[in-house]
Structure 1
Amino acid sequence: MGYFGKLAYSDGRWSTGGPTAVPFLLVDVHDSDVATVDYRAADASGGRFYLGYEPRIYFEEPGAGDPVDTTAEAEGFARWAREAAGTDVDPAEVQGLMASPSGAPPADEVVEQTVEKLLALAGLPLPEWPTDDDAPPG
């Protein structure tokens, strides 16, 4: 079984709860195969994209949602990184990390690796991923 968890980056730090301020970045990982990335800027603009697989592909529910416009979301995330972190990011590099709308397998074995590549592009610190030792008993 892979990692399940939600991490938020706001106010210059990572937390396991929701974001504490805007701008923020929210990363929700499902079984180390899908990461939903939500980002919001100070003006409340933002977006959502996926790393690993899009949920509609992963859960084999093609009608569950439209494919992500990866070009638009990559440009939106690059804007967010510039405004929130002061980092210039090439949208093409972000787009190369995104889940394929056609369902092509991701390059990384676990989506946490892809998340870390995205964060490095944006100049953000890496979160401390919880380990099995952090899990509740049982």
Structure 2
Amino acid sequence: MGYFGKLAFSAGRWTAGAPTAVPFLLLDVHDSDIATLDYRAADASGGRFFLGHEPRIYFDEPDAAAPVDVAAEAQGFARWVHETTGAEVDPAAVADLMAAPDGAPPRDEVVEETVERLLALAGLPLPDWPSDDDAPAG
């Protein structure tokens, strides 16, 4: 079984669960196969995209999530990074990491690796991924 968890980057740090401020980046990982990234800027603009697989492909359920406009979300995320951190990010490099709307397999075996590539590209710190020692007993 892979990692399941929700982490938020806001106010310059990662926390478990919900963000503590705007702007934020919310990361929701499902079984190390799908990462849903929601980003919001101070003006409440933002978006959503996936790394690994899109839910509609992964679950073979067309209504699980609308197909992502990869070019638009890559531009939006690059703008969010610039407004949030001042860093410049190439939207094409962001798009290259996103889940393929046509269902092509992801580059990385576990989505956490793709998340780390994206965060490095954006100049954001990496989260402290929970270890097996952090899991509940049993």
What TM-score do the two structures reach when normalised by structure 2? 0.98
Give 1:36's aligned amino acid: T
User: 1:85, CA displacement in angstroms?
Assistant: 1.1
2:67 alignment partner, SS class = coil
Aligned counterparts of 1:74 and 1:129: Cα–Cα separation in 2: 24
Identical residues among aligned pairs (%) = 75
2:20 alignment partner, SS class = coil
Aligned counterparts of 1:23 and 1:120: Cα–Cα separation in 2: 18
The answer as to 2:9 corresponding to 1:9 is yes
RMSD: 0.7
Structure-2 residue corresponding to 1:94: 94
Give ranges in structure 2 of 5+ residues lacking alignment: none
1:11-47: CA deviation from partner (whole Å, max 9, x where unpaired)? 0000002100000000000000000000000000000
TM superposition outliers: structure 1 runs of 4+ over 4 Å: none
Give ranges in structure 1 of 5+ residues lacking alignment: none
Structure-2 residue corresponding to 1:64: 64
Alignment of 1:86-125 (within 5 A): 86-125=86-125
Structure-2 residue corresponding to 1:134: 134
User: 1:62, CA displacement in angstroms?
Assistant: 1.9
